[in-house]
């Protein structure tokens, strides 16, 4: 793999940047792999990368029905934070946060991780009590966080309406300075490039149509394009389509797939240098390095696999944004799109063994899995390499819905992202 | 935007007036005390999530406030039929269990 550096940039400028190496190969799959990862989103690619790099399992294929990062990974609003309430979740997301902090260096690829901080606003007394509780819990877990009052919030975000004229006045916020955003496409591409350089085969435009199961053990996958591809272990990381894959394996998951949408505005001058989220009015916004406002909406109330969202949800979101930032009321929106998120009854992911031997699932991240990308990949890779769940993944077993040990993060962590 | 026919108001109204309340036809265990943890967990948390025909409960929240059922395709979003609580769907998926 070609190493990216300032010197390389200079060198290539002499040949008009026409001789850069391809970022990853486009191989024909082998007949058999040690591990097959189904789904080439950020989580699947990160899993492949850490499998090869940290755990020495290099005979790996990632099989993706579309193109790398074409799922939720590059459709999200890019918010990265780790201020979750419960220990299990906090440890998992903080594990990811620590990996984010060195990711661009590790991958030799700029994922544009920017620790611009994240505010979760409180608009009611109960919000403020919850915020206090969560920040205390975070600090006990060694995660940075502060409780701010309305005036401190106003100092950080001058364009936010913190007056008492608002319908839901801002009373304060939780503030995680280490939180921020990352360039979502770059995350997928960086992990893909890293995995490829360690010998992982990235197979695009290939849909897994069935899982091959013999005597209760998975032995490979069936694809329309290349027929059967065998493997000792299979990890499914297919976000919104997890129920469909589980059905192929003959079991059910407690998931429901919903469209979740986002919008971006026309680029404007720098105006918002942090992430602002509100659970109460339900809207969240940040400004990308390019200048557009990145705005997230809520999920549609009904199940759906169409990658668009309903109009009424956009209207609610825009109402919330204009309520918080009256100054944005004239900004034009450029684009809107949706992704399909698989939501879990306890708003926590499933990283788990399954009733089928050697078949593992990593799913159910719902509306908030982007922030976990490196951590999810890392713990899932460890689990696939050893055939036994990583300690941080253990509480997220799919069997928790049978034994009652839920990790209920609903509302406990600010907005659902 | 859906235009949903409310079988109680007998009119088409806009989606905004309604609220989706999840999968329909979920039977509560007849003898809850005799349920295993697995059966109880499945009743509580496991819902059908098909890519295709789905039967779901909706409520006319800003109208008559009655619950009723909709059969809908989760891929095309086409509403196939609307029927009252207590009635059975006429449109079912080919591969329905
Ligand atoms: C609008 C929106 C905003 C969001 N905002 C945030 C946010 O601000 N912060 C945050 O942390 N999270 C956010 N999320 C959630 C986050 O994007 C997801 O949790 C995360 O990206 C999931 O990553 P993934 O790799 O598991 O899934 P994906 O990126 O969806 O990857 C799954 C891949 O599997 C492939 N696939 C599916 N079926 C098959 C098959 N049969 N064969 C082969 N391949 C298959 C798909 O094509 C896809 O590429 C948001 C999501 C959306 C939609
Ligand atoms: Zn009605």
Ligand nearest to the Cα of A229, by number: 1
Name the nearest CA neighbour of A42 among A120, A99, A117.
Answer: A99
**Cβ proximity of A310 and A42 under 8 Å:** no
A332 Ramachandran zone, left/alpha/beta (phi>0; psi -120 to 50)? beta
DSSP per-residue codes, A338-394:
EEEEEE-TTS--EEEE-SSBTEEEEE--TT--GGGHHHHHHHHHHHHHHTS--TTTG
pLDDT by residue (tens digit) across A231-270? 999 999 999 999 999 999 999 999 999 999 999 999 999 9
Query: Would A151 be classed as within a structural domain?
Result: yes
A309-314 own/partner pairs: CB under 8 Å, 24+ apart: A309/A259, A309/A260, A309/A261, A309/A336, A309/A338, A310/A259, A310/B1, A310/B2, A310/B15, A311/B1, A312/B1, A312/B15, A312/B16, A313/A261, A314/A261, A314/A263
Chain A residues near residue B72 by CB distance under 8 angstroms = 302
Contacts for A242 with CB less than 8 Å, ≥ 6 apart: A236, A253, A255, A342, A350, A361, A363, A364
**Alpha-carbon distances, residue A249 vs A66, A258, B94 (angstroms):** 21, 22, 19
Q: Test A304 with B19 for CB contact under 8 angstroms.
A: no
Element (H, E) at A14: none
**Cβ proximity of A307 and A338 under 8 Å:** yes
Which CATH code is given to the segment(s) B3-42+49-84?
A: 3.30.2270.10
Look at residue B75 and tell me whether its pLDDT is greater than 80.
yes
Cα Rg, chain A, nearest whole Å: 21
Paired residues of A242 in beta bridges: none
Terminal-residue alpha carbon distance, chain B: 31
CATH number of the domain encompassing residue A118: 3.30.9.10
What phi and psi values does residue A392 have, to the nearest 5 degrees? -70, -25
Query: Would A102 be classed as within a structural domain?
Result: no
Burial class (CB in 10 A: 0-12, 13-18, 19+), A56: exposed
Q: How far is the CA of A255 from the centre of ligand 1 (A)?
A: 14
My answer on whether A263 and A404 are in the same domain is no
Nearest to B37 among A256, A312, A402 (CB): A402
Query: Would A84 be classed as within a structural domain?
Result: no
My answer on whether A262 and A237 are in the same domain is no
Nearest to B49 among A255, A311, A402 (CB): A255
**Alpha-carbon distances, residue B62 vs A309, A337, B15 (angstroms):** 21, 28, 10
Beta strands A283-287 and A146-149: pairing type?
Answer: unpaired
Nearest to A256 among B37, B41, B49 (CB): B49
Report d(CA A391, CA A52) in Å as an integer. 20
Report d(CA A318, CA A337) in Å as an integer. 14
Q: Test B45 with A401 for CB contact under 8 angstroms.
A: yes
**Cβ proximity of A350 and A253 under 8 Å:** yes
Look at residue B93 and tell me whether its pLDDT is greater than 90.
no
My answer on whether A338 and A320 are in the same domain is yes
Burial class (CB in 10 A: 0-12, 13-18, 19+), B59: middle
Would you list which residues of chain A are within 8 Å, Cβ to Cβ, of chain B? 241, 243-244, 252-257, 301-306, 310-312, 342, 345, 401-404
My answer on whether A235 and A265 are in the same domain is no
pLDDT by residue (tens digit) across A22-79? 999 999 999 999 999 999 999 999 999 999 999 999 999 999 999 999 999 999 999 9
Report d(CA B8, CA A198) in Å as an integer. 62
CATH number of the domain encompassing residue A39: 3.50.50.60
**Cβ proximity of B67 and B84 under 8 Å:** no
Size of interface A-B (CB pairs under 8 A): 59
Query: Would A95 be classed as within a structural domain?
Result: no
Query: Would A158 be classed as within a structural domain?
Result: yes
My answer on whether A334 and A261 are in the same domain is yes
Report d(CA A254, CA A347) in Å as an integer. 11
My answer on whether A191 and A172 are in the same domain is no
Q: Test A241 with B54 for CB contact under 8 angstroms.
A: no
Q: Domain boundary at A288, A314, A343, which? A: A343
Name the nearest CA neighbour of A44 among A247, A266, A235.
Answer: A235
Query: In A157-216, which residue ranges form alpha helices assigned H by DSSP?
Result: 184-197
Beta strands A292-299 and A256-267: pairing type?
Answer: antiparallel
Q: Print the domain residue range for A193.
A: 29-78+184-254+346-410
For every one of its 417 residues, what pLDDT tens digit does chain A have, with 9 covering 90 and above?
889 999 999 999 999 999 999 999 999 999 999 999 999 999 999 999 999 999 999 999 999 999 999 999 999 999 999 999 999 999 999 999 999 999 999 999 999 999 999 999 999 999 999 999 999 999 999 999 999 999 999 999 999 999 999 999 999 999 999 999 999 999 999 999 999 999 999 999 999 999 999 999 999 999 999 999 999 999 999 999 999 999 999 999 999 999 999 999 999 999 999 999 998 898 999 999 999 999 998 899 999 998 888 888 999 999 999 999 999 999 999 999 999 999 999 999 999 999 999 999 999 999 999 999 999 999 999 999 999 999 999 999 999 999 999 998 876 665 555
Number of domains in chain A: 2
Q: How far is the CA of A170 from the centre of ligand 1 (A)?
A: 32
Q: Test B51 with A305 for CB contact under 8 angstroms.
A: yes
CB atoms within 10 A of CB A334: 12
List all residues whose CB is within 6 A of at least one atom of ligand 1. A 38-44, 63-66, 70-73, 75-79, 207-208, 237-239, 241, 260-262, 296, 339, 341, 365, 367-371, 417
My answer on whether A405 and A355 are in the same domain is yes
Decide: helix, strand or coil at residue A134.
helix
Ligand nearest to the Cα of B11, by number: 2
My answer on whether A247 and A188 are in the same domain is yes
- Sequence spans of domains, chain B: 3-42+49-84
pLDDT by residue (tens digit) across B22-67? 999 999 999 989 999 999 999 999 999 999 999 999 999 999 999 9
User: From the candidates B49, B60, B77, which should be mutated to test the interface with A, based on the most A CB atoms within 10 A?
Assistant: B49
Q: In Å, how far is B37's CA from the nearest CA of chain A?
A: 6
Q: What is the predicted pLDDT for the residue at A411?
A: 65
Query: Would A260 be classed as within a structural domain?
Result: yes
How many residues are listed for chain A in this entry? 417
CB proximity B95 to A under 8 Å: no
My answer on whether A263 and A325 are in the same domain is yes
Decide: helix, strand or coil at residue A231.
strand
My answer on whether A336 and A215 are in the same domain is no
What's the complex ipTM? 0.94
My answer on whether A286 and A377 are in the same domain is no
**Cβ proximity of A213 and A321 under 8 Å:** no
Q: What is the predicted pLDDT for the residue at B97?
A: 43
Q: What is the predicted pLDDT for the residue at A378?
A: 98
My answer on whether A44 and A149 are in the same domain is no
Query: Would A203 be classed as within a structural domain?
Result: yes
What phi and psi values does residue B11 have, to the nearest 5 degrees? -150, 155
């Amino acid at each position: 793999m070609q190493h990216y550096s300032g010197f390389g940039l200079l060198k290539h400028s002499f040949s008009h940047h026409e001789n850069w190496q391809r970022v990853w190969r486009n191989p024909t799959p082998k007949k058999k792999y040690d591990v097959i990862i189904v789904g080439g989103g950020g989580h699947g690619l990160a899993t492949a990368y850490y499998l090869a790099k940290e755990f020495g399992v290099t005979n790996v294929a990632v099989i993706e029905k579309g193109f790398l990062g074409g799922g939720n990974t590059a459709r999200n609003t890019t918010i990265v934070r780790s201020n979750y309430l419960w220990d299990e979740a906090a440890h998992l997301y903080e594990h990811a946060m620590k990996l984010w902090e060195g990711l661009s260096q590790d991958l030799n690829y700029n994922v544009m991780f920017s620790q611009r901080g994240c505010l979760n606003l409180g608009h009611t007394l109960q919000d403020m009590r919850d915020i206090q509780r969560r920040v205390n819990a975070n600090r006990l877990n060694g995660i940075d966080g502060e409780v701010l009052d309305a005036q401190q919030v106003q100092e950080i975000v001058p364009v936010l309406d913190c007056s008492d004229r608002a319908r839901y006045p801002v009373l304060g916020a939780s503030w995680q300075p280490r939180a921020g955003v990352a360039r979502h496409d770059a995350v997928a591409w960086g992990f893909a490039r890293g995995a490829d350089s360690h010998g992982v085969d990235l197979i695009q435009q290939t849909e897994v149509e069935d899982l091959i199961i013999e005597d209760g053990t998975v032995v490979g996958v069936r694809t329309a394009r290349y027929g059967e591809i065998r493997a000792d272990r299979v990890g499914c990381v297919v976000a919104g389509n997890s129920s469909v894959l589980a059905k192929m394996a003959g079991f059910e998951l407690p998931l429901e797939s919903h469209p979740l949408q986002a919008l971006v505005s026309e680029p404007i001058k720098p105006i918002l240098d942090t992430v602002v989220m509100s659970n109460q009015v339900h809207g969240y916004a940040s400004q990308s390095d390019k200048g557009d406002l990145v705005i997230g909406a809520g999920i549609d109330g009904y199940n759906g696999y169409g990658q668009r969202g309903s109009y009424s949800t956009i209207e609610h979101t825009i109402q919330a944004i204009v309520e918080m930032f009256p100054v944005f009321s004239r900004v034009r929106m450029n684009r809107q799109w949706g992704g399909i998120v698989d939501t879990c009854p306890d708003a926590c992911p499933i990283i788990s063994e399954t009733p089928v031997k050697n078949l593992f699932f990593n799913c159910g991240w719902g509306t908030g899995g982007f922030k976990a990308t490196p951590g999810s990949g890392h713990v899932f890779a460890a689990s696939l390499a050893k055939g036994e769940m990583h300690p941080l993944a253990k509480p997220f077993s799919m069997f928790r819905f049978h034994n009652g040990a839920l990790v209920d993060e609903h509302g406990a962590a600010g907005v659902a992202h | 935007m859906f235009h949903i026919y409310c079988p109680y108001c007998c009119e088409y109204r806009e989606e905004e007036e309604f609220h989706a309340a999840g999968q329909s036809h979920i039977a509560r265990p007849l003898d809850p005390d005799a349920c295993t943890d697995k059966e109880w967990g499945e009743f509580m948390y496991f819902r059908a999530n098909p890519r295709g025909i789905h039967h779901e409960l909706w409520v006319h929240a800003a109208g008559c406030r009655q619950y009723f059922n909709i059969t809908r395709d989760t891929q095309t979003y086409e509403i196939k039929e609307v029927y009252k609580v207590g009635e059975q769907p006429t449109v079912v998926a080919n591969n329905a269990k």
